[in-house]
Chain A
């Protein structure tokens, strides 16, 4: 009851006109930044961090600036789905999984269904996550605190194993894609020994590593567009979408079939989100994988299933709240964006950590209250803007395609201010186009590129600490996760053998 009392007071403070106004502005900025290829929540929060000093000077506390930045974070999580669905390009890595079924739905003229499913699943995911955050914060924080390197690597392995099912029937191509992505993520300086490695052809641009956005925008912005032009022949298959009351009602009815994915995504997203160094991207990818694997007909996934949109969207929103938990209770950021938020809290004079809840309740509870308010604002703004997003689809492809190319090139440069990255992004796009034609699955490679920088150090540190691979099977938490991962890796082979045995019989 004490928690509810604090929460009620916090919501009242979050509803004050200044804080509510900042939440609305933050959500709109976040939606735009999240939807823009090349810019994600971390870019928006980082770029606007200096502006919060103006807000702090005006309001005199740290609560309003934090509400502003947290609202951008929320808005960006919703916004990432918009470009994933309408353009086929994830606005940020957190929305990669949304493209898998969101894009096919849009191509079938069901963009409004995908957008509504994304908005509603995001709302439900964030709401469930907010409730979990409010009620079970101390318990969940202690669980996350117990995760060491073996547990985190086991979780990464489980993510890869879960994803192996997305590569279709061609197992070697799927495994190749995963290893290819992991290898690309290893380019640059080795963070443990400090040695430069994989500097291909001694080109110095590789020394800072191959950045995720370069690969993601190359694959999804250039490669995907070329593939779409090649297959659609500049056709207008995306333009036959009608937005009216009946279509919205239809979209809502379609969402009834997405409850399972939404719930799976909400809980997986929160759980993965609270893990330090994990976050919304692996959460959304895992949620998609689990929803697909537990489906009665996994073959439908990737071709336009509402559940395939709902699961990752619920997960990434849920994870965004989950990632706040270790940041606020332990002082450990759960994602790059929360790392920037953490830096902001320190700059504003707060001390993130276990004592924050007891020493700064006038900061913590209005912030938690603003999570609920921002969530309502985000879903309302998002749904109101759906007709505008669909308008983007009505453009002739000969206008849309060059616009996306321009956004991809400008977005890549704006992220890192490096022309080498822009050249590399275009070349990666050409490579992605050819791989797509030959049916090499790109999704596992994208997952691997994101998780590689987490997987490698945790594996090496585990081996350094325990000097044996068996530790992944013997630790109480890592063991079951690793065993599940091994079973999942061999599942396609087991299914193939069973299929052959059945056909022979």
Chain B
């Protein structure tokens, strides 16, 4: 945990500097304006578009330095913690659940929301939850059906169908 604390503070410090840098971007339609010209007040006394985010980034940078000083002086609980940032369960959980979510997102583009919901639920319930096939298939099938009637039919919010779109055309004819 101690190492993770300083590594995170360092990454957030870099992000703060990037935020300050991006805040000073000149407008796309007039790149001749010098960088950081927009972080102060213009000739009319108006704070520029980068004023707010630049100074927020500056305060964030100060905070990350402060966190770093606390780490060196061992003043924060994380800076003296000997616990691992993620133990074996945590690493496995993040890979299986987080990986499953990324797979879910990818599948939305291919099989649409309803196909992806079915596959994700089967993956989670059967392979991570070790539930019975009956329960797995009951929930995995009913959740996309309920979602379809709520979003597409009742709320008229059409969710992406991916390559399964042709299968829904008869349903559109009946319900929409």
Contact = CB atoms under 8 A, between A and B. Distances in A.
B90 A230 contact: yes
Nearest to B50: A197
B49 A197 contact: yes
Contact of B101 (A200, A405, A417, A460): A405
B22 A198 contact: yes
A195 B60 contact: no
B86 interface: yes
Interface in B23-46: 23, 25, 27-28, 38, 41, 44-46
A459 B52 contact: yes
Contacts of B85: 437-438
Given A180-B60, A460-B46, A402 B121 contact: yes
Q: Interface on chain B toward A: helix, strand, loop, or mixed SS?
A: helix
Interface residues of A, number: 56
Contact of A410 (B38, B45, B64, B117): B117
Interface stretch (A1-9, A11-19, A167-175): A167-175
Nearest to B64: A176
B8 A438 contact: yes
A326 B89 CA distance: 53
A406 B28 CA distance: 39
A502 B23 CA distance: 44
A434 B86 CA distance: 9
A324 interface: no
A90 B145 CA distance: 25
A172 B128 contact: no
A58 B98 CA distance: 50
Contact of A426 (B60, B64, B66, B105): B105
Interface in A177-218: 179-180, 182-183, 186, 190, 192-193, 195-200
16 contacts: A176-B63, A179-B63, A183-B60, A195-B49, A199-B22, A229-B97, A230-B86, A409-B105, A410-B117, A413-B113, A413-B160, A422-B108, A438-B8, A463-B45, A464-B46, A467-B45
Closest 5 pairs between A and B when the two form their complex, measured CB to CB: A398-B129, A402-B124, A190-B49, A172-B66, A176-B63
Given A399-B139, A409-B105, A409-B113, 19 more contacts: A170-B76, A176-B64, A179-B59, A182-B52, A183-B19, A193-B49, A197-B25, A198-B23, A198-B53, A229-B93, A402-B129, A414-B157, A423-B105, A433-B94, A435-B8, A437-B86, A438-B8, A460-B47, A464-B44
